[in-house]
Chain A
Amino acid sequence: MPAKRDQDFFWEAVDRSELTAQQCSDCEKRRHPPAPACPHCGSQHFTISRLSGSGTIHSWIISCHPTLPDPNPKTVILVDLAEGLRFISNLIDAENIRIGAPVTVEFGEVNGRRLPLFRTVKNP
C-alpha cells in the first residue's frame, strides 16, 4: 500500500464535495496548504475541518498556454477564504471577475479531475 500523503484528506473530501483544511488540535488554527505540523505552534496533532467555501477574490490573472492557441484560458483566482486561509482556484463565471468580489465554492470536473472551483455570489 502506498504511503499516505499529507494532502490526501483534501482530495478525498473534494470527492465528497467538501472543502477542508487541517485544524491544529492545540492552538486550533487552520492551515493551507497541508503540512505535517502546525506553522503557528508546531503541534503535530490536528483534525480535519470543513470550510464554509465562502470568500472574496484577493487577486486574479488570466492564464493561457504560453505558445499554443488556448481555447479555454483559465481565470486563476487567489481567494481569501472566510476562515482566514488563502486558496488558488478558478472562477467559473469569469465575466464577473473583480478584486474583492464575494465568491462561493462549486465543485466541477476539469480534464477528468474533480476540483473545487468558485463562482461569484450577488448577496453574500
Chain B
Amino acid sequence: MTGQAAITGIGQTEFTKASGRTVLSQCVEASTKAIRDAGLEPADIDGIITYTFDTNDEIAVQRSLRIPELRWTSRTPFGGELSYATFQLAAAAVASGAANHVLIYRAFNERSEARFGQPNANAQAADLEQREFYRGFGLNTPAQVYGLWYRPYLDRYGVTSADLGAYVVQARDYAATNPLAWFHNRPLTLEEHQASRWIVEPVLRKLDCCMETDGGIAFIVSFLSHARASTRPVVRILAAEQLWLHGSEVMYNYYQPDLTAQASTERLAANLWRASGLSPAEIDVMTIYENFSPIVPMSLEAYGFCKPGEGRELINSGGIGRGGVIPVNTNGGLLGEAYIHGLNNVTEAVRQLRGSAANQVAGARTALVTGRHCAMLLARE
C-alpha cells in the first residue's frame, strides 16, 4: 500500500429498526448518494467490492445504478472481521489501474429480517453440520462466542462491568449529540448500564452489545489524482492492512496459549504504523469496531495508545471523550449510532477529516479506523 487512493464519496440511508423496504433499494440509495457526493456520475464507477454476508448482488446493483462497464469486483471474507479490508483491496485496485473509482457498499435489514444477534436456525445441538464444536455447547451468537474470548483478558487486568459501562456511557454521550445516531438525544447513565440484564454472564450486559440496524452505507474509493480534482477535502488512505497470524481462528479464537495477548492485532498495528510512517501520538481521532464493549480497552492497548491493562484507565479518565487525548467513536460507534457492520465508523472518520462531523474534533487531520484483523489510516491532505 503506497497511499495512492482516497475516499472521495460517502452515502447512507436513514438508520432504522424496521426499514419496510428491500435491502437492495437501500444499497442503491446509499450508493447513488456516495457517487453524487464524490462529484461523479455512475459511468465513472468501474469497480465494486463488498464483504461476505451481503445479499446485494453486484450485477443487480450495477443495473440499478446504470454502471455501463464494470471492470473489477471482489469480496473480502469473514463478514465484519474484514469489513475495512474492502478499502485495502479497493485502494490496491485503483493504485494498480484495475479500476478508477471503486464502489464499496453494505446494506441489510439486520434488525427486521436476519438478525445477527439471534441463534441461527441451524444452530441447535441436533444439527451439528457446521461449527459443531461450538454451537451444540451454547456458543450460538456473536455475544456468546466473543464473550468467552474476552473473559480471560477482563480477568487478567481486573476490568469490571462498570469499566465497560464507562465506555458505553461515553459512546451514548457522543450519540446523544449526533442527529444521525439511533440514540440521538438519549444519553445513558452508568447506573442504567449496570441495571442492564446479562446477555453473557459475567461478561456482557445488553448495553455492552452493538445494536441491530436496518440501513445501508456506501463509499467511493478513487485513484488519488482523480480525488485531487474534487472540490472536497481529500481524504487519503495512507495505509490499509489486514492480518491473520497462524494459529488464530475466525470468531472461535480459543486456541492460542495466552488468550489475554492480542498478537494478531498488535502485529497489524505495527504494520500500519510502519506503512504510514505515523505513530499513535499523531492520531487525532480513532474508531474501533466495537461489536462489544470489551474490544475498546483491548484495542486502545493493541494499537499502542496505552500499555496492556491500562485501557480501562484511559476510558475512565475521559481520554477517549470530548477533548480527550484520543477521541474514540465520536459518532457513538456501533453501540450508539448504528451497526452497519462497522461501516458507519468509516463514514464518521471521513466526516471528521472533512470537518463536517456532528461531534467535530477541532482540526482533525488523521483518523485511525480499526478492527481486530483489519485497519486503516486516513489523512486529510
A-to-B contact residues, CB < 8 Å: 7, 11, 32-33, 39, 58-67, 74, 76, 78, 86-90, 99, 110-113, 115
Contact = CB atoms under 8 A, between A and B. Distances in A.
Nearest to B129: A5
Nearest to A7: B132
Contact of B126 (A62, A88, A111): A111
Interface of B: 117-119, 124-126, 128, 132-134, 136-141, 143-144, 147-148, 151-152, 155, 198-203, 246-247, 252, 254-255, 259
A58 B152 CA distance: 8
B151 A61 contact: yes
A59 B255 contact: no
A89 B125 CA distance: 12
B124 A76 contact: no
30 contacts: A58-B152, A58-B259, A59-B148, A59-B151, A59-B152, A59-B259, A60-B148, A61-B147, A61-B200, A61-B201, A62-B198, A62-B200, A62-B201, A62-B202, A63-B138, A64-B200, A76-B137, A76-B138, A76-B139, A78-B148, A88-B137, A88-B254, A90-B138, A111-B124, A111-B125, A111-B126, A112-B126, A113-B125, A113-B126, A115-B137
A54 B128 CA distance: 24
Q: Which DSSP category, helix, strand, loop or mixed, fits chain B's interface?
A: loop
Contacts, number: 86
Given A33-B133, A62-B200, A74-B137, A67 B118 contact: yes
Closest 4 CB pairs of A and B: A74-B138, A63-B138, A111-B125, A62-B201
A36 B141 CA distance: 27
A24 B155 CA distance: 34
Given A59-B152, A65-B119, A88-B254, A76 B136 contact: no
A86 B144 contact: no
A64 B199 contact: yes
A26 to B, nearest CB: 18
Nearest to B201: A62
B137 A90 contact: yes
Contacts of A89: 137
